[in-house]
Amino acid sequence: MTTPLKINLISATVLGLTMAAGSVAHADTLFGVYAKADYWSANLDGEFGNGNSNGFFASRDDSSEREQHGILSVQFEHFVPLVPNVWIRSNNIEYQGRSNLNSNVTVGNESFDTSSPVNYLFDLSHTDIALYYEILDNWITLDVGLGAKSVNFDYQLRQGSSAYRFTESATIPMLYGKAAFELPMSGWQVTAQGMALSFEDDRVEDVSVELGYNFNDFMQAAIGYRQIVIDVQASGVPESEMTLDGSYLSFILHI
């Protein structure tokens, strides 16, 4: 990841719109806390660093394996006008192991070959936060606001005397939105959620869509699909174009 990522003019426009819309948003919940736990089965693909790193994932013997990640989030909603609601998500995302390559790969200035297993670690754990306004709150719920990803990424490869490591800490401002549609008299609900930033040649996207069932006013279960795209092309920074995607199961409590 990279600190050169900056919020663009669209963000300022959205902020003004959301502030204005917040004063007319429905607020039939005086105060609510939503706690959500996701079990995400996701694959990691793409390229990272300089050199021919795009061959690393493709040449791994176990490239089809998915890792399981625990994702926790909490959402605070209230009735106070103009004061935004808060959403926080903790993403524990790590890929670690040993792989036998079926072709040689160059990452940065280091070469990795097929002679022995490569030890790897991709730690993409991060925290999401969003301040948002609830524009609609009936059978259609619409939230819009501004968010950020606080990242501390760490990529490592090691094979004998060859070693590559890239670390980056940054806070990335992003636009945030969420829309939910209740299917009348069924208990089912379709929800789409996303965070995104695009600036010059850099792009970060985190989107999900899910189908949930409301057991009552306090409990919901859901199945969904989530995709994270990290596309960084800024000069002076190791280029990355990585994608995490896969299905997940969720359980939500409303207090």
The pLDDT of residue 79: 85
The pLDDT of residue 17: 38
Q: Report the helix count and the strand count for the chain, using DSSP H and E.
A: 2, 14
The pLDDT of residue 36: 97
Domains of the chain: 9-254 (2.40.128)
The pLDDT of residue 40: 97
The pTM is what?
0.83
User: Cα–Cα distance between 224 and 94 in angstroms, integer?
Assistant: 20
Ranges of the chain whose pLDDT falls below 70: 1-29, 50-55, 59-65, 233-238
User: Cα–Cα distance between 104 and 160 in angstroms, integer?
Assistant: 14
Please say whether the beta carbons of 76 and 62 come within 8 A. Answer: no
User: Cα–Cα distance between 239 and 3 in angstroms, integer?
Assistant: 13
DSSP per-residue codes, 135-196: EEESSEEEEEEEEEEEEEEEEEEEETTEEEEEEEEEEEEEEEEEEEEE-TTTSEEEEEEEEE
**pLDDT tens, position by position, 23-82:** 334 444 578 899 999 999 999 888 877 655 656 777 665 545 678 999 999 999 988 889
Q: Using alpha carbons only, how large is the chain's radius of gyration in Å? A: 20
